[in-house]
Amino acid sequence: MNTTLRVSLSPGQKRHALAAPVLPLLADAGATVILGAANAGQDLNTSLAPSAHSLFGPRGVCLAANGSLWVADTGHHRMLGWRSLPGEDNAAAQILIGQPDFAHEGRNAKGAPYGATLNVPTGIAACGAGIAVADGWNHRVLIWHEPPRTHNQPADLVLGQTDFGAVECNRGSDRPSADTLFWPFGVAWDGTRLWVADTGNRRVLMWNGLPTRNGQPADLVLGQRSFDSRDENGGGTPDASSMRWPHGLAFLGTGVCVADAGNNRVMVWRTLPTANGQACDALLGQQTASGVDHNRGDYWPTASALNMPYAVTTLGDWLVVADTASSRLLAWHDQDINGYGAQPRLLAAQPDWEAKGDNRWMAAMRDSLCWPFGLCSSSEYAIIADAGNNRVMLWRWSREMEA
């Protein structure tokens, strides 16, 4: 007698059962080194009290040209430095910028701003031989020509303000200009040009060459038609040239990629933009230039949908995106990025394309994420500012990244 076994699946189970197989972006064993963790066990959430070991909502990471590691410890309003990549969990930071000592916190160290204070530092990047940090709520970018060697070494140059003591958004004006900033949250250097995600002004600014004087005006603007505009999505329907909440920046080939978190997409210019307000060539995360909903309007993610992507980095021909609100990383190969809505090849921190949840709805693990906010890459590691878990992870790339 023939019998048929019928199994009833919930909607969520059906989604996961039908999800396409995925290839790993990062090593299955999880992070090799975790900073900010009190121990190396399964529960890696940390105390929020400031110390040389702790982190509170870190949102930016970078490797400087001299091999030093820098973290924007955003919630503690400070920047931490390690002279080389740490080789063990919970390694103590060796250099401090922004507070009188490792046990203190507070915006601008609870005093007057100057060249070594910070107020919600977010993006951080290697910049020439030195580093640059987007000092968000001081509405400025600080640049050190060489990585700091001592505690509270002042920056050499400031953008967005006329001097280190000024901290007003758009220098006190209700409109921006080429030399002002409002909540800059991202910064990047492509080897020739400096780029800043001027998030509160809903634009990205570019300087040709490394700026040489305080308050130097930018040379190009993306996201707006002119330097004096700051309207959300250019004041109209979202399109391939507009922005809502630009954040992370990275460089793929000769072009630039911008994580436009507010529009739940990544904008890709395949070659260097040359005109103000120039439209991008490709979009990831949306099927149309006017689409802006997270996960394309669905509760569950898919392979080609994004939910508040805040960070991007590149490794060779790969573009890696932190799909922040889905607590996962995705990777696209350069040859696949065309038009709108291309699908990634690789995934990290979730079991399949349609899974979501901070730490996969469990306690923090060595292979899980909770709101990854910052990314940078070395040949060996993805370096992740795992903000919701108050930690930074050094996680080896998978063999798939060599393809």
Q: Give the start-to-end residue ranges of the domains of the chain.
A: 18-402
User: What are φ and ψ of residue 186, in 5° steps?
Assistant: -135, 145
Q: In the CATH scheme, what is the code of domain 18-402?
A: 2.120.10.30
Name the strands in the sheet holding 69-73, side by side, starting at the edge strand that comes first in the sequence.
60-63, 69-73, 78-82, 95-97
Residue 208 has pLDDT above 60, yes or no: yes
Determine contact, residues 260/267, Cβ cutoff 8 Å. Answer: yes
Across the chain, mean pLDDT equals 93
296-306 average pLDDT score: 96
Q: What percent of the chain has pLDDT over 70?
A: 92
Alpha carbon 352 to its chain's center = 22
Q: Alpha carbon of 117 to those of 141, 166, 247: distances in Å? A: 12, 12, 22
Residue 380 has pLDDT above 50, yes or no: yes
H helix or E strand, kind and range, residue 78:
strand 78-82
Amino acid 9: pLDDT: 37
Q: Work out the burial of residue 296: count CB atoms within 10 Å of its CB; fewer than 13 is exposed, 13-18 middle, 19 or more buried.
A: buried
- Residue-wise pLDDT for 73-93, tens only, equals 999 999 999 999 999 999 999
Angle at the Cα of 314 from the Cα atoms of 310 and 315, rounded to 5 degrees: 145
What is residue 15's three-state secondary structure? helix
Tell me the β-bridge partners of 18.
none
- Residue-wise pLDDT for 26-82, tens only, equals 999 999 999 997 554 444 555 589 999 999 999 999 999 999 999 999 999 999 999
Q: Alpha carbon of 386 to those of 45, 329, 362, 390: distances in Å? A: 10, 11, 15, 6
Amino acid 402: pLDDT: 74
